[in-house]
Amino acid sequence: MIWINGAETDCLPATDRGLLYGDGVWETIGVRQGRAQLLEWHLERLQTGLQALRIPQPDWHGFQQEILTFCQGQERSVLKVIVTRGAGQRGYNPVTGLPPTRILQLSPWPEYPPDYAGQGVRLALCQARLARQPLLAGFKHLNRLEQVLARAEFGNDYQEGLMCDYAGNVVEGVMSNLFIINAAGEFCTPDLGQCGVAGIMRRFIIHVLEKYGIRCHICTLELKDIEQAQALFMTNSLIGIWPVREFSGKHYGIPSLIRKLQMDVKALS
């Protein structure tokens, strides 16, 4: 099911700047029992992205209502929300006054084998690196060729790939964020000031850890920090938490605190 600007249609004008330049932002949201999970945080990130791109904000109250109506009766689905700068005249110049395009899409829930969350996943090291571009870092825009290239590198032997930037820092998974428990037992997740997407599930994990009185360090991580870590896990809104059981020939355990966090994610639904 697809709605564009509130109407059921699969038809986007080919002059939409979302297509022409990737001039927009998006969210992937889990839907359970008709409820879009962590919707407020997702809408906050959309707003941050639109501000960064100076795209006019939609009427948020009306948009939220539209999303609630759209998700009604959905047992378990994936909601994709896209907001673009709209269909416009030729050229990069973002003419003001264009009404933004709102796109809502529902897809079936991806049925990942329970092993991924249970026993952990194998993590590939992607050769494709992320460019450092602070102007586009943190929010979730439609310029995602780096992720497409990185994802194409590994097949079914791996469930996710780890991406570094050109400075040699570890940044994130192709479709997820990375957390580590380092040699000293501290939680760390990469700083995303230069590149990467600040995931909503990442925010949730940091928030839950805080509630437990555990500080999650947001810092610069290199591959050697990953090698020396006690445990790794990947997060996003659909997979929740996937512990990493193997990366680069090294095997990792799954401490009980990761299990506890997985329960917290489960309790969201």
- Catalytic residue annotation: 28, 140, 172
Report if residue 98 touches its own copies, rule: CB under 8 A: no
Burial of 10 (0-12, 13-18, 19+ CB in 10 A): exposed
**How far apart (Å, rounded) are the C-alpha atoms in residues 195 and 191?**
9
Asked if 63 and 102 touch (Cβ cutoff 8 Å), the reply is: yes
- Taking the CA of residue 14 as centre, how many other CA atoms within 13 Å lie in the half-sphere pointing to its CB? 0
Helix (H, G, I), strand (E, B) or coil at 247: strand
Residue 5, amino acid: N
Q: Where are the alpha helices (DSSP H) in 53-171?
A: 60-71, 114-118, 145-151
Contact string (CB under 8 A) for its own copies, positions 7-46, x = contact: ---xxxxxxxxxxxxxx--x--------------------
Binding window for its own copies (CB under 8 A); candidates: 77-85, 207-215, 241-249, 251-259: 77-85
Q: Please pick, from the candidates 61, 73, 92, 157, the single residue that binds its own copies as defined by CB under 8 A.
A: 92
Show the tokens assigned to 163. Answer: 């991406």
Binding window for its own copies (CB under 8 A); candidates: 5-13, 63-71, 185-193, 228-236: 5-13
The 10 Å Cβ neighbour count of residue 91 is: 9
Contact string (CB under 8 A) for its own copies, positions 139-168, x = contact: --xxxxxxxxxxxx-------------x--
Phi, psi of 93 (to 5 degrees): -55, 115
Q: Please pick, from the candidates 4, 29, 124, 229, the single residue that binds its own copies as defined by CB under 8 A.
A: 4
- Residue 147 Cβ, how far from its own copies at the closest point, in Å? 5
The 10 Å Cβ neighbour count of residue 17 is: 23
- Residue 51 Cβ, how far from its own copies at the closest point, in Å? 12
Residues 113-132 that bind its own copies (CB under 8 A): 128-129, 131-132
The contact set with its own copies (CB under 8 A) reads: 2, 4, 10-23, 26, 53-54, 78, 80, 82, 84-85, 90-94, 103, 105, 107, 110, 128-129, 131-133, 135-136, 141-152, 166, 174-175
